[in-house]
Chains A and B, each alone.
Chain A
Amino acid sequence: MIASRAETRQGPVVLRPSSLKPRWLVVGVLVLGAAVLIGLLLGPVALHRRAVALEIVNALPFVKVSSGLSESHSAILWQIRMPRVVLGGLVGALLASCGAAYQGVFRNPLVDPYLLGAAAGAGLGITLVIAYGASGASLLLPGAAFLGAIGGVMAAYILGRSGSGSRTTTSLVLAGVAVTSFLTAVQTYVQQRNDETLREVYTWILGRLSTAGWREVLLILPYAAVSALVLFLHRRLLDVISVGDEEADSVGVSTARVRLLVVVAASLGTAAAVAVSGLIGFVGIIVPHTVRLIVGSSYRLVLPLSILFGAAFLVLADLIARTIISPAEVPIGVVTAFFGAPFFMMILRTSRRNS
């Protein structure tokens, strides 16, 4: 259903610049701003709302106000809640924009970082470093995750193409499923053979958003920046590619080069996200599709809006994860799927009724 819908939209029609709706960018910025603000105001520990607002004002240059927050509450705001909101936003933006990019470059609405083997590959990379790497090798983790992610995507892509001679939707998805299963199997095996590191591996795979600090933010920032920049610069070329390889070649676009660059950038982004937050499903597929259903399928809007809405979605999902059974936590993957799936179905129904 999604496939046919997206395919019918992927014609030259979508390239009308006049039909772009820049006001959605403003909406996206406002939604993200609101999500971040709510994320900072609410948490398992009740901080005084006015004090939080004053703390934020105080952080602005040339302003000095006293918020009246105690030392420990100030630490909770600045060293626990703030980096967690920022990291949630970064991870959401990465997963959503990388999902959108994979969907564009493979001309396949069903692929996302999980289906393609990128996330499983990143998980394997992380497991190998923890199991066989020297202690204190945690700085290597994003790099290892990246190698794993790119390996996973490449394997799925090559396997999908060799399977049927062309990159059809089905063969790529099937190849992704096969690669994911294989990588997950290897990862589980390595994990079992090294049971002394089992708990540490689980800690990484299940996600570390709950323990995030500024260190994790700094750790993924360079990867995130490069990935987002490359994807953003390719937003127009993704539109051209979405028309078809021959058409793209005819207007002088090197599809092979663009595809390679976008896949590398998207895998880098996925790997960075997995390295700090573990495996969080559903964001890479639900956010870009929701955006497409709202504003159409031009990547000039889909990409920036996926970044904004992806960030907002994960900040809010994490807010639920840390508050709903406070002071205990719910794994964030549970929240993204539990609230994401019905929300997506609602969007899908509404948009079909309208069209």
Chain B
Amino acid sequence: MRKTWLLVILLSLLSAACRTDGTPARTTSEPEFPVTISSGDAEVTIEKRPERIVSLSSTATEILFAIEAGEQVEAVDDQSNYPAEAPKSDLSGFQPNVEAIAARNPDLVIYHFDPGDLADSLEKLGIPALMQPAAVQLEDTYQQISDLGLATGKTEEAEDLVESMKKEITEVLETVPEFEDPPTYYHELEQTYFTLTSKTFAGEIYSLLGLENIADAADTEGSGYPQLSAEYIIDADPDFIFLANTKCCAQSSETVAQRPGWGNMKAVTGDRVVELDDDVASRWGPRVVDFLEAAAEAVSELEPANA
């Protein structure tokens, strides 16, 4: 794999050096195929530049379009609602139908979840399949972007995207004040109080902002997605309530304030109930920067004395 990388870099340098007609380097750099990329626990080899990609992962769809590989995408799954120009289809990423996928005649399938034998079935059909599971940390996101760049022949665009994300994240973090006593938060996934801990991907984003998660006590070894008791949330009285169920379930700062017993919580009276975009807060693609910005904006308004 490292060898391939070296080759890619050398080639792009070479093509940049040979450039005489003034066109930008990225359009002329043509990374060499085949490439071999890690896919979940295994590896996948892609023989030539894919032109009919089927993406069953909304995050992968967002990455593909962000690295200008959108034209190589044939179809995306029914959850891929961003960007608008993505060719949304009725394919399902949660209950993938191998026949329906094969009917699209793909030369690369990207998925985030295998309910059982998706990988095996696609392999039997000779369709290369790239597994990109849910990221656990930001590094995973950067790795997946690089891998998709490699898989689509858009390595430079991918590297540019990673660099710009890193830069933007650093800039956002510079605007956030430092707290001696870290402010606490509760991130709501749905209104029976399913939440996430700081060990999850979104949890890492909040940790970057210096926030402390009230759910960590509820899930010391588990999945990172516990269901909390209302009593506990009210008693913990977090400084921030982040809602990731505004689109699915019509939750808002108003509905939170109306919940029994929630009206006197710090976050409610202090107007620190933050309405997030469900999709942005649950995917691990380029828009994680938007998620960070939304959270950072709320945190910046908190007077250190309140923390």
Contact = CB atoms under 8 A, between A and B. Distances in A.
Interface residues of B, number: 30
Contacts of A81: 231
Interface of A (DSSP majority class): helix
Contacts of B10: none
Interface string B219-245: 100100011111110110100000001
Given A44-B231, A72-B234, A329-B227, A199 B248 contact: yes
A83 B190 CA distance: 21
B261 A210 contact: no
B189 to A, nearest CB: 9
Contacts, number: 96
Given A76-B234, A80-B234, A203 B192 contact: yes
A75 interface: yes
Contacts of B260: 75, 79-80, 83, 213-215
Nearest to A136: B250
Q: Which bracket fits the contact residues of A?
A: 35 or more
A135 interface: yes
Nearest to B247: A196
B229 A195 contact: no
Nearest to A73: B235
B140 interface: no
Q: Name, among B79, B235, B248, the residue most crowded by chain A CB atoms within 10 Å (CB to CB).
A: B235
Interface of B (DSSP majority class): loop
A80 B219 contact: no
A44 B261 contact: no
Contact of A44 (B232, B249, B265): B232
Contacts of B228: 327-329
B229 A196 contact: no
Given A75-B234, A79-B261, A203 B190 contact: yes
Nearest to B259: A213
Given A76-B261, A211-B192, A211-B193, A43 B250 contact: no
A39 to B, nearest CB: 12
A289 interface: no
A148 to B, nearest CB: 22
A178 interface: no
A37 B219 CA distance: 29
Nearest to A327: B232
B78 interface: yes
Contacts of A203: 190-192, 249
A203 B227 CA distance: 12
Contact of A210 (B192, B259, B263): B192
A45 B265 CA distance: 15
14 contacts: A44-B229, A45-B235, A72-B237, A73-B235, A79-B260, A80-B230, A80-B261, A195-B78, A200-B248, A207-B192, A210-B193, A326-B218, A329-B193, A329-B226
Given A44-B229, A44-B231, A327-B232, 18 more contacts: A43-B229, A75-B260, A76-B235, A76-B261, A80-B230, A80-B234, A135-B250, A195-B78, A199-B245, A199-B248, A203-B192, A211-B193, A322-B231, A327-B228, A328-B222, A328-B228, A329-B226, A329-B227
Interface of A: 43-45, 71-73, 75-76, 78-81, 83, 135, 195-200, 202-203, 206-208, 210-211, 213-215, 322, 325-329
Interface of B: 78-79, 190-193, 217-219, 222, 226-232, 234-235, 237, 245, 248-250, 259-261, 263-265
